[in-house]
Structure 1
Amino acid sequence: MEFRIERSVLTEAVVWAARSLPARSPVPVLGGLLLDAREGRLRISGFDYETSAAIEVEAETPVAGRVLVLGRRLLDICKVLPDATVVCALEGARFTVEGGGTRFGLSTLPTQEYPTLPELPATHGTVDAAEFADAVARVVIAAGRDDALPVLTGIGLRLADDGTMTLAASDRYRYAVVKVGWKPEAPAAGDGTVDIVVPGRRLTEISRSLAKSGTVRIGLSDSRTPGPSGTSTGGLIAFEGTGMRTTLRLLEGRLPRYDKLFALDAPTIAVTPREALADAVRRVAVVAEPNSPVRLGFSARGTVLLQAGYEDDIASQQLTATLTGAEDLAVAFNPAYLLEALNSFDAPHIRFELLGPGQRALLSGVPDEKDTSGGGTTTGEDHRHLLMSVRQLS
């Protein structure tokens, strides 16, 4: 086996495939990357039974063959290689990497013990790569980080035959939902809608890597079988674009339904400039103790007063705001949660639908200056973020 390839191309390909490598594994071969060179192409793949990743790039392949090497060691080597053409070859049981006068030798792993990558499921539809990556980034901030509740660490994907893809995530204290368009190719069974939960961290990495691919093809396996509680097990989702492909095993279970949570009864509406509010939250939170809230006091006089801290260490800032449905209203939020929510929007103004202290608050973007009155129809339906306000304000 021998191939020649530019260092930058090799590094990007190894980085992509290495995303599937487990942090730790009792099975040594699962820490490996499989390199297969033939017919002017180099294919690099990794698989840990939960996630697979494969990428094909152009390379000179004078001697066809394949080799399995430790993936993270190969990645470290690629990062320090001089920027030059790299020559890789299998010499007996050693894999050599040489470029710019630098030479490395790597031990190899037994390829016969490496598991076969799963086949790509049939394409279910396509989505714009950049829009998909943007939507994933907006909702993943609300995903849980407690592995004891795996379904809450995931991102829910609802794929409807009407061309709407809904992405959602919740850690029980907040709930983010974003809708984007997509093009279904294969009709779903039943009512034409597929509801699945995908590992959030993995999906974020994948969508970011595919963001410049133009179009991402999404495949779903039909191997899901009903579990004892009505959930699905054993299913795979695949993403493919520009020579890159990856599969993820779906998480069992479903996220809580958000439609009833987002339906607030006669809320008070407040609208304020988004960037100015985010800057103010960042400033006043400097004096806040860990887990202490930032207080937002909305006034019918057209202002919102932000306050944080207790006793001698306090901070405050006043901004413009409009209020509809109440004389005055004060609520408080975890400053980190509020700041992440505000930064997930692009709109110049943010709209709060408020029920009061200790209750739900729904945030959405207001795209135009003329819509900042807070009255009329609800705006920002394609991106909404629910936060729980803090009951104790002092």
Structure 2
Amino acid sequence: MKFQLSRRQLLEVLTPIQAIIPARTTLPILHNLKLTAEKGKLLFEATDLDVCLSRSVGATVRSEGSLLVPAKRLYDVVRELPDLEVKVEQTDLTLVVACERSVFKLPAINTEDYPKVPEPAEGDSVKKVRLGVSSLLRAVDKVSFAISTDENRPVLCGLLWQLSEDGMRLVATDGHRLALMWSGFGNSSVRESARGSRERISEKEEAGHYAGDEGVTQVIVPQKALHLLDLVLKPYSGGESEIEVDVFFGESRLGFDLSLPRAGESGNDESVYLSCGLISGVYPEYRSVLPKDNDRIVRVGKDDVARALRRVAIFSDPYSHLVKLSIEPERMSLSASSPQSGEAYDEIECEYVGDGFEIGYNAHYLLEIVKRIDDEEIKMELKSPVDAGIFVPHQQREHEELVYLLMPIRLG
């Protein structure tokens, strides 16, 4: 094996691989990545047996070959190199990495016992959907922050992904908050965007959508796979034209397959394939906790409430992070106090009609919701100091419904 590649390209490939390589494992071979040089391209493969990544890039290949090399050590070497061409050559079971006047020799092993990275599957048991990379990453970001870290409830440690003919829904909850995003595929049923999110949810429930009926796919995706998805696909998002990725929904695995032309000396396409195991179990029935009769409607500027929350939260209790909201017509006051920090009070304008009331929230949880709402105004649908509150954009995007639920903290 002998090839050369720019340090920038090599680092771009090796960085997300570090998120896969296990820190501790009973299979030492998993500390390696599989490196294969073929005509005009390089193939990098890594796995922890649950998450698998395969990535090919165009390169100047002088001779072909394949071997396993310590993933972290190779990454550490490349990260410290100057931004120049890197020359790599195999000598028996040694990988020689050279750049300018620096030379490094890494021990390598043969590839025979390395686990095979699953290929994209086709068949009756596999559903496939093509999504824009930017749209997919945006949807995951809007929801994944609410995933639980409580390993005693494994199904909540992943994101619920429901797929039907007219769209998809992503749901995450940790028991204190819930994030839900519905994204349509552009048909006529999606364009009726004036209705409320709870009305649409109820209507789909009555129609049998997202309840495990025929034609609907439902999977629970682990947090680690979502983090890796963001690392791998983010370089392909935000361009002038939307790059698309094929998503394969299997019975036990989820796959993401992306191919795109990458002009260069080799003229080869660049490809990425990410596969992950799914979390087994039944996701809780989240529809039942979405209130439909919250009649205290408050409209507030996103930037106003975000800035006030950040200021007041400095003085909140370090354990509960409690911030009290006092809401009256045209005025919302925010306050917090703790024996260690002192007291804070802030006041902003709002739109509200009705009797004044107080409600408490975890400031950090509320801020995470506020910063993920794109609209200039946030609509808060509240009921009482002990009932769940709903937070949505004042204006939903076309073909999209974004809903956040947050449980209040009981005020003393």
Alignment CA distance shift 1:111-1:104 (3 Å):
same
CA distance in 2, matches of 1:385, 1:28: 43
- The reply on whether 1:382 has 2:381 as its aligned counterpart is no
CA distance in 2, matches of 1:333, 1:389: 5
Instruction: Say what the alpha-carbon RMSD is for the aligned residues.
Output: 2.2
Task: Give the partner amino acid of 2:218.
Answer: D
Task: Please state how far the C-alpha of 1:261 moved relative to its aligned partner.
Answer: 1.6
CA distance in 2, matches of 1:59, 1:200: 32
CA contact (8 A) 1:126 1:216 kept: yes
CA contact (8 A) 2:16 2:231 kept: no
Task: Please state how far the C-alpha of 1:13 moved relative to its aligned partner.
Answer: 1.4
**Percent identical across equivalent pairs?**
26
- Structure 1 residue aligned with 2:49: 49
Task: Please state how far the C-alpha of 1:310 moved relative to its aligned partner.
Answer: 4.4
Alignment CA distance shift 1:289-1:385 (3 Å):
same
- The reply on whether 1:165 has 2:168 as its aligned counterpart is yes
Q: Report the secondary structure of 1:382's partner residue.
A: strand
Task: Please state how far the C-alpha of 1:190 moved relative to its aligned partner.
Answer: 4.7
CA distance in 1, matches of 2:11, 2:376: 39
Q: Report the secondary structure of 2:112's partner residue.
A: helix
CA contact (8 A) 1:126 1:182 kept: no
CA contact (8 A) 2:16 2:228 kept: no
Task: Please state how far the C-alpha of 1:208 moved relative to its aligned partner.
Answer: 4.6
- Structure with the bigger RCO (C-alpha within 8 Å, sep 6+) is 2
Alignment CA distance shift 1:110-1:45 (3 Å):
same
- The reply on whether 1:257 has 2:276 as its aligned counterpart is no
CA contact (8 A) 1:133 1:207 kept: yes
- Structure 1 residue aligned with 2:265: none
**Which deviates more from structure 2 when the two are superposed, residues 133-142 or residues 175-184?**
175-184
CA distance in 2, matches of 1:220, 1:194: 8
- Structure 2 residue aligned with 1:356: 384
CA contact (8 A) 2:183 2:399 kept: no
- The reply on whether 1:366 has 2:394 as its aligned counterpart is yes
CA contact (8 A) 1:94 1:105 kept: yes
The Cα offsets for residues 23-62 of structure 1, whole Å up to 9 and x where unpaired, read as: 3212111111000001111000101110100110011211
- Structure 1 residue aligned with 2:215: 192
CA contact (8 A) 2:321 2:364 kept: no
Task: Please state how far the C-alpha of 1:257 moved relative to its aligned partner.
Answer: 2.4
- Structure 2 residue aligned with 1:174: 177
Task: Please state how far the C-alpha of 1:107 moved relative to its aligned partner.
Answer: 0.8
- Structure 1 residue aligned with 2:131: 127
Alignment CA distance shift 1:310-1:73 (3 Å):
closer
CA distance in 1, matches of 2:253, 2:10: 28
CA contact (8 A) 1:210 1:216 kept: no
- Structure 2 residue aligned with 1:303: 331
CA contact (8 A) 2:38 2:64 kept: yes
- Structure 2 residue aligned with 1:240: 257
* Residue segments in structure 1 that go unaligned for 5+ positions in a row: 225-234, 369-378
Task: Please state how far the C-alpha of 1:266 moved relative to its aligned partner.
Answer: 4.2
The Cα offsets for residues 186-240 of structure 1, whole Å up to 9 and x where unpaired, read as: xx9953111110012321331353142511110122xx3xxxxxxxxxx000011
Alignment CA distance shift 1:111-1:277 (3 Å):
same
**How many aligned residue pairs are there?**
365
CA contact (8 A) 1:296 1:307 kept: yes
* Residue segments in structure 2 that go unaligned for 5+ positions in a row: 188-209, 238-242, 260-270
**Which deviates more from structure 2 when the two are superposed, residues 197-206 or residues 356-365?**
197-206
Q: Structure 1 length normalisation: TM-score?
A: 0.88
CA distance in 2, matches of 1:355, 1:191: 37
CA distance in 1, matches of 2:52, 2:327: 50
Task: Please state how far the C-alpha of 1:268 moved relative to its aligned partner.
Answer: 1.1
Alignment CA distance shift 1:67-1:314 (3 Å):
same
CA contact (8 A) 2:159 2:221 kept: yes
CA distance in 1, matches of 2:146, 2:282: 15
Task: Give the partner amino acid of 1:273.
Answer: G
- Structure 2 residue aligned with 1:343: 371
Alignment CA distance shift 1:53-1:92 (3 Å):
same
CA contact (8 A) 2:385 2:410 kept: yes
- The reply on whether 1:391 has 2:410 as its aligned counterpart is yes
Task: Please state how far the C-alpha of 1:183 moved relative to its aligned partner.
Answer: 8.6
Task: Give the partner amino acid of 1:320.
Answer: E
CA distance in 2, matches of 1:322, 1:240: 46
Task: Give the partner amino acid of 1:323.
Answer: Y
The correspondence for 2:317, drawn from 289, 299, 308, is 289
**Which deviates more from structure 2 when the two are superposed, residues 264-273 or residues 338-347?**
264-273
CA distance in 1, matches of 2:278, 2:64: 35
